Amino acid sequence: MTTLRAASRRLLTPRLFLSWKPQASSIQVRPVLASGHITSRFPAPCAIRHSSHSPLGGAPASSRKMITVQTLRNLHKKGEPITMLTAHDFPSAYAAEAAGMEVILVGDSLAMVALGMHDTSEITLEDMLLHCRSVARAAQTAFTVGDMPMGSYEVSPEQALQSAIRIVKEGRVQAVKLEGGEEMAPTIKRITSAGIPVVAHIGLTPQRQNALGGFRVQGKSTAGALKLLTDALAVQEAGAFMMVLEAVPAEIASIITQKLKVPTIGIGAGNGCSGQVLVQIDMAGNFPPGRFLPKFVKKYADVWAETVKGIEQYRTEVKSRAYPSEQYTYPAPEEDVAEFRRIVDEIPEKK
């Protein structure tokens, strides 16, 4: 204590002030004013975080129990629709969790909506792992599913299993989703035999858009509908505990759903499915004007317009110096400001 008091009475000259580099201990020193000399009045560090890049925080608090495969099966058994929404990072997953989504899908659609890629075929397994981890940190109770990207499962069931293990182990999600019907049954069986839950995806499979002739509705003809039913029964038999039906006529999807023992999640497949999924950016309206939206997307908000409006107002206020006003600044004691100004005025200008 004596040493600290002695240090607090150390007088600073302008030259010493300019060369001063505070150490961990000296930051806590508050020297007293000595007539005709410079003193330091810097306060000890504050425990409150004053940072523009402070973390969003942990997962949102929730009284809801963890959603599991069994939870989803119970919802299906009761006939209660299952809610699923995509998320591609911590904030979007945080919002989905806070809104009570039962399933959060880290969809490979993030290739376009989050990474600006042309289509889903560009995204890699490493990309998906990064985004899965980000989403998993926010999903405290929601059941999380990670998409298997193109190229990570088609070569063989063994390749698919290795990729699925990485998505669950490194991506920290609870299940994987893969595209394909009857031809993917051996792959689904191999993954599920290792204890990894699988969500199948039939109908319009975006990873295969080139083979399908683009993004076309599937199952419109009798033959096409029968093919979908065959695929659905095959992936169910292989062990998929749930499946996505995309871009399928509502009546066809409803009939297929009634023939299955596992829940179906529709996206552009009518309300006869066991649940629904949408891409979060689409349904939240977080995209610029003029962007194409599939027929089945309902826009529930206009996040883009509100965001641009806020940014424009921020720019205007910065240009006019209206921001930051006194409300958004940190004050300092007048005597310290006056002393600091006097110190600065005494410092000779560099030539």
CATH value at residue 189: 3.20.20.60
Question: Do both 218 and 315 map to the same domain?
Answer: no
Tokens of 346: 């005494």
Residue 190 falls inside a structural domain: yes
3-class secondary-structure state, position 245: strand
Assess contact for 106 and 173: CB atoms under 8 A.
Answer: yes
Distance between CA atoms of residues 29 and 338, nearest Å = 20
Question: Do both 276 and 318 map to the same domain?
Answer: no
The backbone torsions φ and ψ at residue 87, rounded to the nearest 5 degrees and listed phi first, read -150, 150
Residue 142 falls inside a structural domain: yes
Question: Do both 228 and 339 map to the same domain?
Answer: no
Distance between CA atoms of residues 83 and 223, nearest Å = 30
Question: Do both 77 and 134 map to the same domain?
Answer: yes
Question: Do both 124 and 169 map to the same domain?
Answer: yes
Total domains in the chain come to 2
Q: Which domain covers residue 207, as residue numbers? A: 69-303
Residue 59 falls inside a structural domain: no
Q: What is the pLDDT along the chain (351 residues), one digit of tens a residue?
A: 444 444 444 445 555 555 555 444 434 444 444 444 444 444 444 445 555 555 666 666 778 899 999 999 999 999 999 999 999 999 999 999 999 999 999 999 999 999 999 999 999 999 999 999 999 999 999 999 999 999 999 999 999 999 999 999 999 999 999 999 999 999 999 999 999 999 999 999 988 765 555 568 999 999 999 999 999 999 999 999 999 999 999 999 999 999 999 999 999 999 999 999 999 999 999 999 998 899 999 999 999 999 999 999 999 999 999 999 999 999 999 999 999 999 999 999 887
Question: Do both 225 and 288 map to the same domain?
Answer: yes
Question: Do both 284 and 185 map to the same domain?
Answer: yes
3-class secondary-structure state, position 231: helix
Residue 32 falls inside a structural domain: no
Q: CA 50 → CA 91, 328, 333, distances in Å?
A: 21, 12, 18
Residue 39 falls inside a structural domain: no
Residue 5 falls inside a structural domain: no
Question: Do both 95 and 232 map to the same domain?
Answer: yes
Question: Do both 230 and 141 map to the same domain?
Answer: yes
Question: Do both 177 and 250 map to the same domain?
Answer: yes
Question: Do both 116 and 140 map to the same domain?
Answer: yes
Assess contact for 62 and 140: CB atoms under 8 A.
Answer: yes
Peptide bond into 14 cis (omega under 30): no
Give me the active site residues, please: 246
